[in-house]
Structure 1
Amino acid sequence: MRIARPRSARIVAAVIAAGLVATGCASERDDDGGSGDDSQPFVFGAAGDPASLDPSLASDGETFRVTRQAFETLLDHEPGGTELVGGLAEEWVGNETGTEWTFTLREGVTFHDGAELTAEVVCANFDRWYNWSGTYQNTTMSYYWQTVFGGFAENESPETPEPNYVGCTATDELTAVIEVAEPSANYPGGFSLQAFSIHSPDSLEAYAEDEASGEGENLTFPGYSQEAGTVAGTGPFQISEWNKGNGEVSLTRFDDYWGDAAGVEELVFRTIPEEDSRRQALQAGDIHGYDLVAPADVATLAGEGFQVPTRDVFNILYLGITQDSDEALQQLEVRQALAHAMDRENIVSTQLPEGGVVASQFMPDTVAGFSPDVTTYDYDPERAQQLLAEAGAEDLAVDFCYPTEVTRPYMPAPADIYELLKADLEAVGITVNPVPLKWNPDYTETTRDGSCNIYLLGWTGDFNDGYNFLGTWFAGYSKEWGFENEDLFALMDQAQAEADEAARVALYEQINEMVMEFLPGVPISSSPPSIAFSADVNPPTVSPLTQENFAEVSFK
């Protein structure tokens, strides 16, 4: 999840309908139906450190994996699926124009610091984000706010989108009404985003006294977000310690949680960047689970008695191209040459788990709006060389950025994938200059700022609407893509404003066809990422959105 530039906050009305209360659903347990020693810590191997303990300031999955256990949102997703269900709100409804969303909150919800959830608290959270200023208006800090709700009460940069958020009103103690200027395909799904988790009123007051600082690439997160003790949500766990030196975040069970109690007293996320090291830690019994299992390890672990469930496909890996970083990349023939030079089937067969597929467009076929009629680019090195010659770019050289010290659901082995693509590009005469960068914050900021010619990146959907994929990249000009295409941007605007679901899906299909004709980047693959657990635990229900609820975990 990361990095888009909304063309405006005038995005679209997805479905304007009432939502009903979520029903509880636990993951499958073993036949005895019981749980073992809940005082034993459950330790999970994470691929990277969180950026912040305040999810409002984050845009990355490693942060959200941790904060999701402690913070809750107005809406949620069904366990194991993409259907919206109630979260802190039992019911929700949008008006006919999609500009007003009414949330009926659960009764008896308590924050970790003892405060009670009310509609006024909900409004205070949304008003906090809307009134952010200074460093908080940098997209590194407020990516999701700007993507879903646009700009701020007072924008400080001409690049910041106009605000779409109008206000929030507490009509009674448990009813919050959120008003937006224009309908959006990001509603109601956006209300399920971890970045819009609800914080306690006392913690909001403390946040206001501890500001972020810096500008450009020199940003400093506020102190409260870098250590436990201040942040307070309503989740089944509360964050008790962040030992950044050892890469561990510890959470303890919250005994006053409104829902089912967590199955373990303590939950620990231990950062182990290398996938081999995570596997070895699981095999040695040092951890009880880890994510992003290397495809080659799935059968091995399963054969050793470990549990290795696979998520459904809901992601895209792509080669991004920053067109205004090099005049040659502004030529369609050059971008087509890059596409024809890449043996994407080789990547799928050697780097991805079983069930991975070559991507034909910038969304998986599990999302409505996927088109069967897009232009495709088969592996054809001779055609790639011919296109480079026609463009006068036989001596093309590119800076190729790729991330280190991380694995992602759509990209299990970044360095290996880079090496395969590098060999493909060099085979057609392209000079490749490697630019390896640490994922957080170097890689995300460098690609966001358009400082790479080409780069590897991807996306796991936040919720099930085509705009959550297409709008992430192509709603308007962004530095990371570096192109202007008014016809495409206008069609995105049209899709944003379309309230009829069938008509909107048809527009998504048309957009996919236009994008693949224009070829701003090359979609590489979609894959079903695996997650592993030891044999002695009852694991959580795995989520295609990678939104596992670790409160479901218990020991057998």
Structure 2
Amino acid sequence: MNISTRHASARWAAALGAAALGAGLLAGCSAGNGGGGGGGGTTKDELYIAVQDDPVCLDPQQVTLTTALNIGRQLVDSLVDQNPETGEIVPWLAKSFEANDNLTEFTFTLRDDVTFSDDSKLTPETVKANFDALAALGSTAALASQYLAGYQGTTVVDASTVKVAFAEPNAQFLQGASTITLGLLSDKSAAMTAEERCQHPVGSGAFVLDSYTSNDSVVVTARKGYDWGSQLRTRKGDAAVKKITFAVTPEPGVRTGGLQTGEFDMILDLPAADEKRFGTDQYEIYARANPGVPHSLVPNTDRPIVSDPAVREAMILATNRAEIKDLTGSSKVPAATGVLSSATPSFLAQKDALAYDLKGAEKLLDDAGWKAGAGGIREKDGTKLSVSVTAFYGQDVLEATQAQLAKAGIDLKINMVTAGDFFGAVASKDFDFLGAGLTRTDPDVLRVMFSSASKARWAVVTDPELDEQLAAQAETADPKARTAILEDVQKHIVEKAYLVPLLEVAQVHASQKGVSGVEFDSSSRIILHDVTVKG
């Protein structure tokens, strides 16, 4: 069956399943009696995965869309890898690596057996071509430009060694080198225009791009002779499955229906409302919080009302994060309890400081002169306690927050915009609050978001002490010493109410029971090299 036919079949079958669910018939079905169980001992060579979004661009170095990152992770390898549980950086394409004392130079010694899917070899010149090209792309490669902030250049030391240099200490670069964003492409791909790279990325990964049909599917096939996987992978050599089809299926009910009928082996972005239905022994659910800054209200303290610390602190106290998780989030990850996600190294839980306390919020506002006014909205000197939040996703999270803040007399207006307008607001600082999270595995994400020296910063705060702390952690190589600084940073941000955490965003996927070996990398992107599928 070709992909277009199978995709149509999946939509048809899932539509029937959705209709049955509406009649109250599907809730008791399982994969076994729906035709898609993991019974039997045969192993399948193909894996069918339903994904929520069209990836648009398949160049892992440029994209920020989660679907594109999940697909792209299968195509490219990285210089190093990071253990998602311990945070340890381990060899991958580089068999060894080191940094100088002030973290401005990073030296990688490469494996000599790595080739790309166009049969070209990995060389130090390849690493240089990739990083130089990424630096030239600038904001077109939004995530990469953050990892390469202060990039001075890459030097070929000898036939197997390359050195990457920065103008300032860059403690997060080594972790950045483990991400898909700094995954390596062949020399020819690195030389392409940004547009060309979107359609034809050539990596050294366990899978090779076979075809991409916009708004329909992406097909990848196993790379023959692949033998340079990260030491974190269990399987050695070629991937177990020979072909993976990512079927673009925007409708959640179609994805879940297709999983239940057996049309799909796996689905990405399982809706929270369906977690209980698929939490049976007929299925596997995979969940991990996104590392970085959780979905939050990010302030512009140059705005008159937002500049009042009592208002910001009251917003923290009046926000019930447990309720927001129950209403809008996954049951598989905890409620937000810090300014970093619990999946981020050096995360500090601040449950007490972020505890819900409506009466405490009301007292803070009373003491600051914000008194009850018409319609339940507080006022001070004729000014209503009304602020806006600009966002391009997560409206349900913001609506839940809006209802909670209203109980304290705070009027939160929601301004949903396009992604382009959101980042335009970030650049122009034309906002009261931003509503979003920032996914990064390294806790240096706090410097990116808060430091006045960061060109990409979101929060608008003026705090020399915080700037000094953020700069210090970026140049500290010792993990324990860096964590100590970062704990002080996290406490400081909460004490000054520079962030209102709302929800830990999770990656939640589901599969038939016969699928095994699905793993997350440290950025919560799926890795499919070790996957096997029983028929």
Q: Same fold (TM over 0.5)?
A: yes
CA contact (8 A) 1:45 1:271 kept: yes
Rounded Cα–Cα distance in structure 1 between residues aligned with 2:451 and 2:67: 26
CA contact (8 A) 1:82 1:545 kept: no
Structure 2 residue aligned with 1:71: 76
Rounded Cα–Cα distance in structure 2 between residues aligned with 1:554 and 1:371: 37
Cα 1:43–1:459 shift into 2, 3 Å:
farther
Structure 1 residue aligned with 2:256: 279
Using the TM superposition, give the Cα deviation of residue 514 of structure 1 relative to its aligned residue in structure 2, in angstroms: 1.0
Q: Residue 521 in 1 paired to residue 499 in 2?
A: yes
Cα 1:377–1:127 shift into 2, 3 Å:
closer
Q: Secondary structure at the match of 2:274?
A: helix
Using the TM superposition, give the Cα deviation of residue 434 of structure 1 relative to its aligned residue in structure 2, in angstroms: 3.0
CA contact (8 A) 1:325 1:450 kept: no
Q: Residue 430 in 1 paired to residue 400 in 2?
A: no
Q: Secondary structure at the match of 1:434?
A: strand
CA contact (8 A) 1:251 1:267 kept: yes
Q: Secondary structure at the match of 2:405?
A: helix
One-letter identity of the residue aligned with 2:92: G
Structure 2 residue aligned with 1:143: 142
Please, which of 379, 385, 388 is the counterpart of residue 396 of structure 1?
Answer: 385
Q: Secondary structure at the match of 2:276?
A: helix
CA contact (8 A) 2:317 2:361 kept: yes
Rounded Cα–Cα distance in structure 2 between residues aligned with 1:373 and 1:263: 43
Rounded Cα–Cα distance in structure 2 between residues aligned with 1:80 and 1:43: 28
CA contact (8 A) 1:64 1:194 kept: yes
Cα deviation code 1:18-57 (max 9, x no counterpart): xxxxxxxxxxxx999x86231x3x2222233335222222
Using the TM superposition, give the Cα deviation of residue 98 of structure 1 relative to its aligned residue in structure 2, in angstroms: 3.1
Using the TM superposition, give the Cα deviation of residue 305 of structure 1 relative to its aligned residue in structure 2, in angstroms: 0.8
Cα deviation code 1:178-234 (max 9, x no counterpart): 2333332213212112221212122233x1xx3xxxxxxxxxxx431443xx32111
Alignment of 1:11-160 (within 5 A): 36-38=43-45, 40=46, 42-78=47-83, 82-130=87-135, 132=136, 136-137=137-138, 139=139, 141-150=140-149
CA contact (8 A) 1:72 1:88 kept: yes
Structure 1 residue aligned with 2:215: 245
CA contact (8 A) 1:316 1:524 kept: no
Q: Secondary structure at the match of 1:513?
A: helix
One-letter identity of the residue aligned with 2:147: V
Using the TM superposition, give the Cα deviation of residue 443 of structure 1 relative to its aligned residue in structure 2, in angstroms: 4.8
One-letter identity of the residue aligned with 1:289: M
Structure 2 residue aligned with 1:153: none
Structure 2 residue aligned with 1:170: 156
Please, which of 189, 192, 195 is the counterpart of residue 178 of structure 2?
Answer: 192
Alignment of 1:482-493 (within 5 A): 482-493=460-471
CA contact (8 A) 2:97 2:109 kept: yes
Runs of 5+ unmatched residues, structure 2: 1-37, 229-236, 371-377
Q: TM-score, normalised by structure 1?
A: 0.77
Using the TM superposition, give the Cα deviation of residue 529 of structure 1 relative to its aligned residue in structure 2, in angstroms: 4.4
Cα 1:266–1:441 shift into 2, 3 Å:
farther
Rounded Cα–Cα distance in structure 2 between residues aligned with 1:448 and 1:287: 41
Q: Residue 224 in 1 paired to residue 196 in 2?
A: yes
Using the TM superposition, give the Cα deviation of residue 386 of structure 1 relative to its aligned residue in structure 2, in angstroms: 4.2
Rounded Cα–Cα distance in structure 2 between residues aligned with 1:327 and 1:107: 59
Runs of 5+ unmatched residues, structure 1: 1-29, 151-162, 211-221, 405-413
Cα deviation code 1:229-259 (max 9, x no counterpart): x32111111222222233x222222224334
Q: RMSD of the TM alignment (CA)?
A: 3.1
One-letter identity of the residue aligned with 2:218: V
Cα deviation code 1:456-485 (max 9, x no counterpart): 3224442xx432x42232232666322222
Q: Residue 262 in 1 paired to residue 250 in 2?
A: no
One-letter identity of the residue aligned with 1:128: A
Cα 1:555–1:197 shift into 2, 3 Å:
same
Q: Residue 233 in 1 paired to residue 211 in 2?
A: no
Using the TM superposition, give the Cα deviation of residue 516 of structure 1 relative to its aligned residue in structure 2, in angstroms: 0.6
Using the TM superposition, give the Cα deviation of residue 539 of structure 1 relative to its aligned residue in structure 2, in angstroms: 3.9
Rounded Cα–Cα distance in structure 2 between residues aligned with 1:422 and 1:270: 36
**Residue-pair matches, total:** 475
Please, which of 337, 355, 359 is the counterpart of residue 336 of structure 2?
Answer: 359
Structure 2 residue aligned with 1:13: none
Rounded Cα–Cα distance in structure 2 between residues aligned with 1:452 and 1:97: 37
Rounded Cα–Cα distance in structure 2 between residues aligned with 1:101 and 1:31: 49
One-letter identity of the residue aligned with 1:203: S
One-letter identity of the residue aligned with 1:281: G
